[in-house]
Amino acid sequence: MLRVVLADDAVLLRAGLVELLSRSGHEVLAAVGDPEALVRAVDDDRPDVVITDVRMPPGFRDEGLKAALELRTRHPGLPVLVLSQYVATAYATQLLSGSGQSGAGTVGLGYLLKDRVGDVSEFLDAVRRVAGGGTVIDPEVVRTLLVQQTAGRPLDKLTPREREVLALMAEGLNNQSMAQRLTVTEAAVVKHASNIFMKLDLDPVEGNRRVLAVLAYLRGESA
C-alpha cells in the first residue's frame, strides 16, 4: 500500500483517481486542486508518492510542475509522478533536469500523459515504479522525440538499436522487459546499454546512469 497525495484542478478526474487508487489498495492522504494546497499537504502528511497535474491555477501553465520541483527540494528523493494533457517534451526535460539541479537527485520521477490513466494496470504500474525510485517517461513522449531527430545532436553517435534501447530506458523498463520487447537476450541489452553510457560520456560513478542517459536523450532531441 502506498500513501499518496494527489493534485489536479479537474474535480471529476481528481475524484476518479482517488477512487482508482483506493480500490487498488492505496491510501490517498489528500486530494487537492491547487499547487499551494499540494505543498501544504505534502509538508503535513509526508506521502510515499505525489501525483500532480502540470497545469494548475492560477495561470494554468506549469504551476503543478513548479510545485513538484519545489517539493523535491524541500523533501529530497520524494517520488513524484507528473500528469500532462498534452505531449510536451520540455516539461519532461524540466522535471528531470530541474530536480537534479536542486540537489534532490533524479530517482523517483515520472511524466505521463493523462490518457495513460485509462489503462489502469499501466498507470498503477507507473505509480509503483516511481514510488520505488524508478524513472518513467510516457511512451508517446518518447515516440515524439524519435521523430524530432535533428543532425548534430549528441545522440547521433548511437546506432538505431542503441536508440531503441535508450527509448525503452526512458519508458522505465528494466533489462528483462527491454529484452522481451526487442526479442533479444538480456546480455544484448546490457551490451547496448554499456555502449550508450560510453558514447554519451557518462561517468560510471556519476549517479544513476540510466536517468542521466534519458536526460541526455530529452535534451539532445528537444533542444
Q: What share of the chain is helix, strand, coil (3-state, %, to 5)?
A: 55, 15, 30
> Could you tell me which CATH number the domain at 148-222 has?
1.10.10.10
DSSP string for 82-111: EEESS--HHHHHHHHHHHHHTTS-SSSEEE
Q: Domain segments of the chain: what residues?
A: 3-138, 148-222
> In which element (H, E) is residue 211 found?
helix 209-222
Question: Could you tell me which residues come within 8 angstroms of residue 143 by beta carbon, excluding any fewer than 6 positions away?
Answer: none
Residue in the block written with cell 503535513:
44
Q: 32: buried, middle or exposed (CB in 10 Å: 19+, 13-18, 0-12)?
A: buried
Give the pLDDT band of residue 222 (cuts 50, 70, 90).
very low
Which tens digits make up the pLDDT trace of 137-176?
A: 887 776 665 555 544 566 778 898 998 888 888 777 889 9
Angstrom distance (rounded) from CA 156 to CA 182: 21
CB atoms within 10 A of CB 198: 11
Give the pLDDT band of residue 207 (cuts 50, 70, 90).
very low
> Could you tell me which CATH number the domain at 3-138 has?
3.40.50.2300
pTM: 0.73
pLDDT of residue 153: 66
Q: 176: buried, middle or exposed (CB in 10 Å: 19+, 13-18, 0-12)?
A: exposed
Give the pLDDT band of residue 99 (cuts 50, 70, 90).
low
Give the pLDDT band of residue 45 (cuts 50, 70, 90).
very high
